[in-house]
């Protein structure tokens, strides 16, 4: 997916019915996923943002926007949640919407802090009743080949959001 000239990425595989994959099929799917992921990362690097700060990104006319810089410290996730709750409450959003936004942002901010060498920025935009949340980090210098890791169905980490 490309939005505003930037590759956002992602891929998914859907089937109409449940599938049973043998070892070779699982291996082939993992290899395909690794190739697709590598291609996606190349495309993302080729479409770097003109600015690295969310503060400098344009906001639609009449939209409400707030940006917060999150330190590279796991304790900063709580501060990001407080910022989000206070901002959305001030904007008059429904408590359920606020809780959902905080849940999503908390997961993304936590991932950014755990998996990168730096903090991140979060941005909240309310435009004509649509709430958009963004978390941007600088990426990680560490490259992990996920196809080399054994599958772990009970893993707590690695499932994404």
Q: Residues 84, 127: one domain? A: yes
Predicted confidence at residue 156, as pLDDT, reads: 54
What number is the average pLDDT over the span 35-39? 83
Number of separate domains in the chain: 2
Query: What is the C-alpha separation between 110 and 108, in angstroms, rounded?
Result: 5
User: Is there a domain that residue 78 lies in?
Assistant: yes
In-domain check, residue 133: yes
Higher pLDDT, 50 or 10: 10
Q: Please state the rounded mean pLDDT for residues 39-48.
A: 70
Q: Report if residue 150 sits inside a domain.
A: no
Name residues whose C-beta falls within 8 Å of residue 137's C-beta, 6 or more positions apart in sequence: 112, 115, 116, 118, 119, 120, 121
Angstrom distance (rounded) from CA 101 to CA 131: 9
Domain limits for position 16: 2-48
pTM, to two decimals = 0.60
Question: At 149, is the pLDDT very low, low, confident or very high (cuts 50, 70, 90)?
Answer: low
Q: How far apart are CA 39 and CA 153, in angstroms?
A: 26
- pLDDT value of residue 94: 95
User: Has residue 158 been placed in a domain?
Assistant: no
Q: Are residues 29 and 77 in the same domain?
A: no
Average pLDDT score, the chain: 81
Identify whether residues 43 and 63 lie together within a single domain.
no
| Residue 101: strand, helix, or coil | helix
Mark whether 24 and 67 lie in a shared domain.
no
Query: Sign of dihedral through CA atoms 18, 22, 27, 32?
Result: negative
pLDDT tens digits for range 51-60:
567 888 888 8
Q: CATH number, domain at 122?
A: 3.30.565.10
> How far from chain centre, in Å, is Cα 20?
30
Q: Backbone phi, then psi, for 71, in 5-degree steps?
A: -70, 160
Higher pLDDT, 53 or 156: 53
pLDDT in tens, 51-102: 567 888 888 899 999 999 999 898 999 999 999 999 999 999 999 999 999 9
Handedness of CA 131, 137, 139, 140 (dihedral sign): negative
């Amino acid at each position: 997916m490309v939005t505003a000239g930037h590759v956002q990425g992602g891929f998914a595989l859907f089937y109409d019915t449940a599938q049973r994959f043998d070892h070779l099929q699982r291996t082939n799917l993992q290899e395909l996923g690794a190739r697709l992921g590598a291609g996606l990362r190349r495309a993302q690097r080729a479409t770097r943002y003109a600015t690295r700060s969310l503060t400098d990104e344009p906001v639609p006319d009449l939209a409400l926007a707030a940006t917060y810089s999150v330190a590279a410290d796991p304790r900063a996730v709580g501060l990001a949640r407080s910022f989000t709750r206070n901002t959305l409450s001030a904007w008059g959003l429904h408590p359920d919407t606020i809780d959902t936004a905080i849940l999503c942002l908390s997961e993304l901010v936590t991932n950014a802090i755990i998996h990168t060498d730096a903090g991140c920025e979060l941005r909240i935009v309310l435009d004509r009743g649509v709430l958009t949340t963004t978390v941007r980090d600088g990426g990680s210098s560490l490259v992990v080949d996920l196809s080399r890791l054994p599958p772990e169905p009970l893993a707590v980490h690695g499932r994404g959001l």
